[in-house]
Amino acid sequence: MPELPEVEAVSSVARRALAGRTVVALRILRKRICAPQRPATVERHVAGRRVVAVERRGKSIEIQLDGATLWIHLRMTGNLYPIADARLRAHSVTACFELDNGRALVFDDPRGLGVLRLGPAPPAGIDPLRDEFTAERFVALAGRGRGAIKTWLLDQRRVAGLGNIYAAEALFQAGIDPRRAGATLSKTRLERLHRAIVAVLGDAVESASLAYQRPGGLAEGELFDPAVYGREGLPCPRCRRRVRRFSQGGRSTYFCPGCQR
């Protein structure tokens, strides 16, 4: 599933393609993407409306129109990109926004697991790329956590959009064992983790944006070089101890037993 940096890169592409445009027609080509809503209802509410804004909300993308709102979740293989003509769309396109400049924005999803529905994006926790993600607020929330800090970070009701890769990398940068409970960590260590999350995601967003080089050409994490994620058995870049992996909440967690305590 695309993580926050990849979703940010895709939303930036969609924002540029839709800026100031009017959606002449929305064609939903795979009915299940808007279930339980009816495709005809969604298409009717979007047609003829001007795009006001495109925003990322956690791992969702929200398209705000003058009088309606759509939210999109990319799921495993979804992507949004512009094409010169709606008739040139690929067979894997599940929805197509026909624009007033003759171009189109397509929702390309080979596995067909993505979501496109009327209404705002579902409620989520604080977004680590927004001003609301202050050190004070993060420390207050994380400091009450009784479970493992890594599992806490992945709960979208608490931190919206932070995924497995970047949670592991932020915990490594902050020198925190992913099994520690937030309530056992000092204010100083939680502030260090807050800074690490912001720094890791900043680098990853830049990487994801550079990796998006052409329509449909997003290579996830192509330029992002993980320190621990996916490096089981390899030497830690800091202390040279072997990186370890274990299962945590149904996900693989990578960490350095020498640096993270």
Read off the CATH number of the domain in which 169 is found.
1.10.8.50
**pLDDT over 70, % of the chain:** 95
- Asked if 11 contacts 54 with a C-beta cutoff of 8 angstroms, the reply is yes
Q: What is the pLDDT of residue 225?
A: 84
Amino acid at 119: G
Averaged pLDDT, 145-159: 94
Backbone angles phi, psi at 257, to 5 degrees: -70, -15
- The answer to whether residue 108 sits within a structural domain is yes
> Could you tell me how many helices (H) and strands (E) the chain has, helices first?
6, 10
pLDDT > 70? residue 175: yes
Q: What is the pLDDT of residue 138?
A: 97
Identify the three-state secondary structure at position 214: coil
- Looking at 118, 146, 178, the residue that finishes a domain is 118
Q: Are residues 111 and 146 in the same domain?
A: no
DSSP state of 180: S
Q: Are residues 248 and 143 in the same domain?
A: yes
- Asked if 248 contacts 150 with a C-beta cutoff of 8 angstroms, the reply is yes
Q: What is the pLDDT of residue 1?
A: 58
From 16, 38, 251, 261, the catalytic residue: 251
The structural domain count of the chain equals: 2
Q: What is the pLDDT of residue 222?
A: 53
Q: What is the pLDDT of residue 223?
A: 64
CATH value at residue 13: 3.20.190.10
From 59, 89, 192, 231, the catalytic residue: 59
From 2, 5, 39, 128, the catalytic residue: 2
Q: Tokens in use for 120?
A: 């705002």
- Looking at 90, 118, 146, the residue that finishes a domain is 118
Q: Are residues 184 and 110 in the same domain?
A: no
Q: What is the pTM of this model?
A: 0.86
Q: Tokens in use for 165?
A: 């890769």
Q: Residue 131: how many CB atoms within 10 A of its CB?
A: 6
Q: Are residues 27 and 57 in the same domain?
A: yes
- Locus of tokens 């007033």: 100
- Asked if 49 contacts 120 with a C-beta cutoff of 8 angstroms, the reply is no
Band of pLDDT at residue 249, cut at 50, 70 and 90: confident
Decide if 187 is catalytic: no
Decide if 2 is catalytic: yes
Identify the three-state secondary structure at position 54: strand
Q: What is the pLDDT of residue 132?
A: 93
Q: Are residues 29 and 85 in the same domain?
A: yes
Amino acid at 183: A
Decide if 232 is catalytic: no
pLDDT > 60? residue 219: no
Q: Are residues 94 and 141 in the same domain?
A: no
- Asked if 114 contacts 72 with a C-beta cutoff of 8 angstroms, the reply is yes
Structure-model confidence comparison of residues 83 and 203, the more confident one: 83
The residue range of the domain holding 60 is 4-118
Q: What is the pLDDT of residue 139?
A: 97
pLDDT > 60? residue 40: yes
- Looking at 85, 118, 151, the residue that finishes a domain is 118
- Between CA 204 and CA 189, with CA 144 as vertex, the angle to 5 degrees is 50
Backbone angles phi, psi at 180, to 5 degrees: -70, 145
Decide if 21 is catalytic: no
